[in-house]
Chain A
């Protein structure tokens, strides 16, 4: 059965690019959901069965780190794996993301192969 992924990014362009890369990555995703910031992502996670989340860090309203922290405090969704996908992949930021439960990080620019490699280990 196909998996469900949630893409969280304030850029509509980047959500399209990530969505296209997911299709090219060869992972069987039956549903690709989108959210434009952390708060919207929390709402989507609460209303849908999601297998994995790909989230940007630098977003308005609720950024990726705030999203991770808020998600970790909601029992029903706290165990859904999140991979950060961002231009911000400095060691300090990624360490902070992992302290809030992020399972990995993909740096923009990225390739479908890198997405396959990173998500394949989680699904």
Chain B
């Protein structure tokens, strides 16, 4: 699972250098579009020679803890700061993955990051894509990083 290792490397680097949090990866799996409960997802689309998406799915509790650490100030509810921070995390993760898949930077285009959240929602898979999800934990909390890729021939 080469892509799983790319996710682990990028996620640990970003959390360590930008948020000062050490995160521990678990065993990668295929998420099968399971529903997300009381969560927020930051999503970046990939277009071009390789299509797909990079998403980071966090429980609300994890998102509040990460945003608090990211901004260096207390955050107590899912607000614009949290949505922006989780979207920006997805953006950095997608950029790191892109730099591995497309060193020249011209074959894959990244979308602007977006964030969705709610009590009960799902994030659809790209048809025909290879998908992998890696769970991470920190301070008793957890989140998922999911990568879906489809290379058009």
**A-side interface residues toward B, CB under 8 Å?**
10-14, 16-17, 20, 58, 60, 86-94, 107-111
Q: Which residues of B contact A107 (CB under 8 A)?
A: 95, 99
Task: Name B96's contact: one of A16, A20, A60, A87 (CB within 8 Å).
Answer: A87
Q: In the complex, A89→B106 CA distance in Å?
A: 10
Q: Which residues of A contact B52 (CB under 8 A)?
A: none
A14-B99 contact in complex given A58-B110, A90-B105, A90-B106, C-beta closer than 8 Å: no
CB distance from B133 to the nearest CB of A (A): 21
Mostly, the B contact residues are helix
Q: Are A16 and B88 in contact (CB under 8 A)?
A: no
Q: In the complex, A93→B108 CA distance in Å?
A: 11
CB distance from A56 to the nearest CB of B (A): 10
Q: Does B87 contact A (CB under 8 A)?
A: yes
Q: Are B17 and A60 in contact (CB under 8 A)?
A: no
A87-B91 contact in complex given A58-B112, A93-B105, C-beta closer than 8 Å: yes
Q: In the complex, A90→B18 CA distance in Å?
A: 21
Q: In the complex, A20→B87 CA distance in Å?
A: 19
Stretch at the interface among B77-85, B124-132, B137-145: B77-85
**B-side interface residues toward A, CB under 8 Å?**
13-14, 17-18, 67, 70-72, 80-81, 84-85, 87-88, 91-92, 94-96, 98-99, 102-106, 110, 112-113
Q: In the complex, A93→B105 CA distance in Å?
A: 6
Q: Are A17 and B18 in contact (CB under 8 A)?
A: yes
Q: Total A-B pairs in contact (CB under 8 Å)?
A: 72
Q: Which residues of B contact A109 (CB under 8 A)?
A: 13-14, 17-18, 92, 96
16 contacts between A and B (CB under 8 A): A10-B112, A11-B91, A13-B67, A13-B88, A16-B71, A17-B18, A58-B112, A87-B95, A88-B95, A90-B98, A91-B104, A93-B105, A94-B105, A109-B14, A109-B18, A109-B92
Q: Which residues of A contact B80 (CB under 8 A)?
A: 12
CB distance from B23 to the nearest CB of A (A): 13
Q: In the complex, A6→B94 CA distance in Å?
A: 25
Q: Are B105 and A12 in contact (CB under 8 A)?
A: no
Q: Are A12 and B106 in contact (CB under 8 A)?
A: no
